[in-house]
Amino acid sequence: MLRYQECLTLLRDRRLRHGSLDTVAAYGITSGLFFDWLRTMLLNLEGEPHQRQRRLVNKASPSAVSMCCGRSCGPRRMS
């Protein structure tokens, strides 16, 4: 398993993609209502469209961590 800093570096590398749409395409789903819905979800957007939607969502609601914990929680360090 990678350490926190290594994971963060990978998450910020714009050359990498998560490939959710590629996964459903491998099963032959490349069009239709489900594919169109999946393609527009925030988690499946890449690059600038993702950043634009994320900025809007961040302004409109508190972070999920704050909502669940009632406070802001940072990453925990493993010793």
Which residues form the domain of 37? 30-59
pTM of the predicted structure, to 2 decimals: 0.51
Residue 14 in any domain: the answer is no
Number of domains in the chain: 1
Look at residue 3 and tell me whether its pLDDT is greater than 90: no
Residue 7 in any domain: the answer is no
- What are the tokens at 2? 């990678």
Look at residue 79 and tell me whether its pLDDT is greater than 50: no
In degrees and rounded to multiples of 5, residue 69 shows phi and psi of -95, -20
32-77 pLDDT, tens digit per residue, is 999 999 888 888 888 888 888 888 888 777 665 455 544 444 555 5
Distance CA(73)–CA(65), nearest Å, equals 7
Residue 51 in any domain: the answer is yes
